Structure 1
Amino acid sequence: MSRVPIPRHYGLDWLRVAAFAILIVYHVGMVFVPWGFHAKSPHGADWVVLPMLAVNAWRLSLLFVVSGYASRALLTRAPGVGHFVRQRTLRLLVPLAFGVTVMVPPQSWVELVTQHGYTGGFATFWTRDYFRFGALGGIVLPALNHLWFVLYLWLYTLVLGLAVLAIRWQRAQALFDRTFAGIGLLVLPAAWLVCIHAWWFPMGYETHDPTHDVMAHLSYLPAFLFGFALAGSAPVLAACVRWRWPGAAMGIAGYGFILAVELGLDGNAPRWVYPLYGAAHAIQQWGTIVALVGFAERHWNRDAPVRHILTEAVFPFYLVHQTIIVIVAYRLIPANLAGGAEFAILVTATVAGCWAFYLAGRRIAVLRPLIGLRPLPHSAKAAS
């Protein structure tokens, strides 16, 4: 494939930062909704589901699109595909191993203590029970939890490396440009997602177990590959700009239908509604992604002094944020605060804790690879 460097797309950087900011608030919301989570507030409320569903359909698919775009930029700067895959493996699997070993155990311990009657302290759990490579209280340990995204990103990177070696990429890129530079940008991916959510897996859910998660792979791997091809396609980026308002209308219409079902049927939808609900989910998912990429290309593709530190901080934030949420939620349970106060404390504590984790880790050379940051240059190491 072409080695022409892909210029940095500041608009997609801003999208990535915004998506992870939404992720923090979303995971705080998981403490209050009736869905399963590692720590639950005694002040949960059904209505919290409604704002969660405004972003639930598209937030992760958008991250895979942006990750695919960034992978194309990294590959064009690498000496070869093998070097690219090795570098991505180090940048992803080292933080994944660190996260599973250090970041995730407090989440599993809180879940076992609060929901499954586990009586041991955290030290006992971490040294005796966590690395059992089996189930405890119905929870498989050691656990991936929120770090499934990092594992999937690595697996898709391997698929991408094989695809680049096997496919005549110039022809594939030309086909991509012809297919998605027009109305096909809105119609074809949306139709594929309708098949997934309305036909093959109506009201299905992701398992985040890579060996038993067909629905997620059918959605996220194409999104990742789409982002990779998008990075080399000026015509499709232009189409995203051209179709951004229809995409936004699709996203609003899809969410509007979901909202009507949730409010009108009080969460007890008959089975005949499932395909329609899934189709609305798919339309909301893809329409919103096209709209956001279009707005990022048209209006947000400009740099700012704070962008560099925010884009660097995203991965460390992602590694630690859910652990902070779960621990703080657990500590707040005895306080019996109002739900609004709990939410405010959780958001504030999570953002502050993430910044502390990032700012401390970035200064210590040995910690940087563990939290997903590039190693310091030799001169910077000496200064540190």
Structure 2
Amino acid sequence: MENQNVVLTRQYDLDWIRVLATIGVFLYHCSMFFNPFPWHVKNNELDSSSILVFSLFVGAWIMPIFFVVSGMNMSYGLKKRKTTAYLKERLLRLGVPLVFGVFILTPPQIFIERSANNQFQGSFLDFLPHYFDGIYLDFGGTGNFAFFGLHLWYLLVLLVFSFITVPLFRKIPSGKNIGLVHFYVLPLLLFGTGFIKTQGLGGWDLVFYLVILLYGFYFFSNPSFKPVLKKTINIHLVRAVITSVIYVVWFIKAYPQPGSVQEIIFFGVRTINCWSLLLCIFYFADKYLSYSNRFLKYASEASMPFYVLHQPVIVFFGYIIHNLSWSITVKLLFLVPVSFMMIMFCYHFVIRRFYVLRFLFGMKGNSQVLTKDRRNSAFPAGR
């Protein structure tokens, strides 16, 4: 039956992973301003050393871990809700901030990209009527309407995945015990997704994300996952270190030609690297972060609005400084803390205090929280 009365123990390590991954994607997008990869606005001096290494390392696992955690949350959510209630919750928590981002947060970023690349002359108000001129598909294109919300593509993809996987998840629920063999068979299936080309987003194909979400639902959320992981963590840790070094050095020194045998081997190394890093992250989160405190409660609620808001803020401040004569180090020391403080200021003093904004940013409207905010205006400290 759908409406079972299930008592689930909250896994605080998942909350910590989501919070830390959100900070990770913030730092990753800050690095995109400096590294050689295409982005909305680029610094006048690019870095192909330490910042590029950081971008490659974080980019290998940052979006996959969001989909793994989402798959795990689907497993828990479907045990507590009927299908209709679950899908309604998905529409509100994902669809509303997506639409808000497409029409409010995305136009300024497209305007900045066009202005920074001399593709548009004029003010933001002059640009607004042109926002619907063609479909924005990638950096450097000519279309302006980004229906997927740029960095908010994750919300769109997760929303679609939520709807198409519900029949499967209802028919075949999670719960079957897993053995050691799964730790080595599953990455082979991920490697197989490299031969299916649909749409690449965030460094991986959509099929890869769908498979990793299914793993989150059936594999990572399984009660037998953590005991087996503890027994094999040394193998995964060594493999993660070795493949990280091979992947980063290979990418920087001699990226393989598309369609070559070397590219297939390279993708295999990258897949094993991603898989091993995910296992290590879940192991250390379970070992050191299986607790809650006041900071976690605050940061967990802030993670969605922070994610929605972070890239527009980074792009804005990046555009301000991109042509200045400051060194990369000085610009980095400016961009990261100033962007972070602006995002947190908007969240803490504006977004979380008004029901309409909470709704638009995918938050629950909790009157008790709003009342408590008025009594305690200081930024909460851990306890």
Determine if the TM-score, normalized by the shorter chain, exceeds 0.5.
yes
Mapping of residues 103-118 of structure 1, within 5 Å:
103-118=105-120
1:141 to 124, 127, 144: 144
Match of residue 182 from structure 1: 180
With normalisation by structure 1, the TM-score equals 0.87
Of 190, 204, 216, 1:227 maps to 216
CA contact (8 A) 2:353 2:373 kept: no
Equivalent of 2:164, from 159, 162, 166? 159
> Aligned residues: percent identity?
23
Deviates more, 1:320-329 or 1:333-342: 333-342
Does 2:362 correspond to 1:372? yes
Distance in 1 between residues matched to 2:199 and 2:172, nearest whole Å: 35
Matching of residues 52-131 of structure 1 within 5 Å? 52-78=55-81, 80-126=82-128, 128-131=129-132
| Displacement after TM superposition at 1:346 (Å) | 0.8
Range 47-56 or range 315-324, more displaced: 47-56
Counterpart Cα distance in 2 of 1:145 and 1:224: 21
Alpha carbon RMSD of aligned pairs, Å? 2.5
1:43-89 Cα shifts (integer Å, max 9, x gaps): 112223222111211111111111121222233232x1111111111
Structure 2 residue corresponding to 1:18, chosen from 12, 17, 20? 20
What secondary structure sits across from 1:75 in the alignment? helix
Matched, 1:348 2:337: yes
Cα 1:278–1:383 shift into 2, 3 Å: closer
Unaligned runs of 5+ in 2: 375-383
Q: In structure 2, do the counterparts of structure 1 residues 326 and 200 end up closer, same or farther at CA, with 3 Å as the change threshold? A: same
1:286: Cα distance to partner? Answer: 0.4
Kindly state the Cα deviation for residue 108 of structure 1 after the two structures are TM-superposed: 0.6
Structure 1 CA distance for aligned equivalents of residues 345 and 214 of structure 2: 34
TM-score by length of 2: 0.87
**Per-residue deviation, 1:220:** 1.0
Aligned residue pairs, count? 365
Distance 1:365 1:274 in 2: 50
Q: Which amino acid aligns with 1:307?
A: L
Matched residue, 1:206: 200
SS at match of 2:224: helix
Displacement after TM superposition at 1:241 (Å): 2.7
How far apart in 2 are the matches of 1:382 and 1:294? 35
- Runs (4+) of structure 1 moved beyond 4 Å? 267-270, 378-384
Q: Which moved more, 1:248-257 or 1:148-157?
A: 248-257
Letter in 1 for 2:114: L
Q: CA separation of 1:190/1:344 partners in 2, compared to 1, >3 Å: closer, same or farther?
A: same
The answer as to 2:353 corresponding to 1:363 is yes
In structure 1, runs of 5+ residues without a counterpart are none
Contact 2:190–2:211 (8 Å) recurs in 1:
no
Q: 1:181 to 1:354 in 2, by over 3 A?
A: farther
Write out per-residue CA displacement over residues 143-195 of structure 1, whole angstroms, 9 at most, x where no aligned residue.
Answer: 12100001011111112322234x143xx632xx2xx331322x122112222
Q: Does 1:275 align with 2:272?
A: no
